[in-house]
Amino acid sequence: MHAHLARFQDRTEAGQALATRLKAYADRPDVLVLGLPRGGVPVAYEIAAALHVPLDICLVRKLGVPGHKELAMGAIASGGVRVLNYDVVSWLGISSKTIDEMAAKELRELQRRDRAYRGDRPPPDVRDRTIILVDDGLATGSTMRAAISLLKPQRPAKLIVAVPVAPPEVCRTLQSEVDDVICLMTPENFYAIGVWYENFAQTTDEEVIALLKNQPFPQVQLNPLR
């Protein structure tokens, strides 16, 4: 797919396109697809459905620059995980106090989403499993790096990042952090994730909850002998 010729119709089409590159993982009981809410979940849903594997979420939150929230200065995940984009922080002279304030605010939103999406379900057990980590695109890669930092200590057998679009340098950086990176488009002139979609309407909480509830291949209890 050539960046100057093509755009994804929407997140559904992007997920279906990614699934064709992930066929080797179909029908495997050890595979789990994790979407990054909110926009990554519709993409992840299509992958999980095509591969006949379960879907869950990996909760992370971008730390947006004050006044320019689309620009990430970092990201947080549960368990106190924090990843900073030091280039952005130093370039804009963002103070540690500002970062702490933004992290506290986003932690509240992270906890709200956890209650809304997961209810009383525990986070998935990723140990010894092949995890496909999905978002609708990467700009700085901060949120994906926070997700990786959250999951790696839990000892998955294999960690794969799958995204429809990202800048080439972000994909190269992630290659050294996970077992594989699948990215369909790596435009040099990236601009923003939404540029590469015809329809990039914001995914709602209700959509995320419905996709998790209606997935065709829910999780089963694995490794009963462990």
pLDDT the model gives residue 178: 98
Q: How many Å apart are CA 145 and CA 155, to the nearest integer?
A: 16
Give which of 152, 132, 2 is closest to 55, Cα–Cα. Answer: 132
pLDDT the model gives residue 121: 86
Quote the DSSP letter at residue 15.
H
pLDDT the model gives residue 5: 47
Q: How many Å apart are CA 206 and CA 221, to the nearest integer?
A: 26
pLDDT the model gives residue 8: 96
Residues 6+ apart with CB under 8 A from 168: 186, 187, 188
Kindly state the tokens that stand for 187: 């435009």
pLDDT the model gives residue 4: 44
Q: Are 149 and 177 in contact (CB under 8 A)?
A: no
pLDDT the model gives residue 119: 87
pLDDT the model gives residue 82: 94
pLDDT the model gives residue 66: 87
pLDDT the model gives residue 71: 82
Q: Are 10 and 196 in contact (CB under 8 A)?
A: no
pLDDT the model gives residue 2: 39
Average confidence (pLDDT) per 10 residues, the chain, 226 residues? 67 97 96 96 98 96 87 88 92 94 93 91 92 96 94 96 97 96 94 94 96 84 39
pLDDT the model gives residue 152: 95
Q: Phi and psi dihedrals of 50, rounded to 5?
A: -70, -35
Upper half-sphere CA count for residue 104 (Cβ side, 13 Å):
6
Q: How many Å apart are CA 99 and CA 117, to the nearest integer?
A: 26
pLDDT the model gives residue 222: 42
pLDDT the model gives residue 220: 53
Q: Are 131 and 161 in contact (CB under 8 A)?
A: no
Task: Give the fold, CATH level 3, of 11-59+125-214.
Answer: Rossmann fold (3.40.50)
pLDDT the model gives residue 191: 87
pLDDT the model gives residue 128: 97
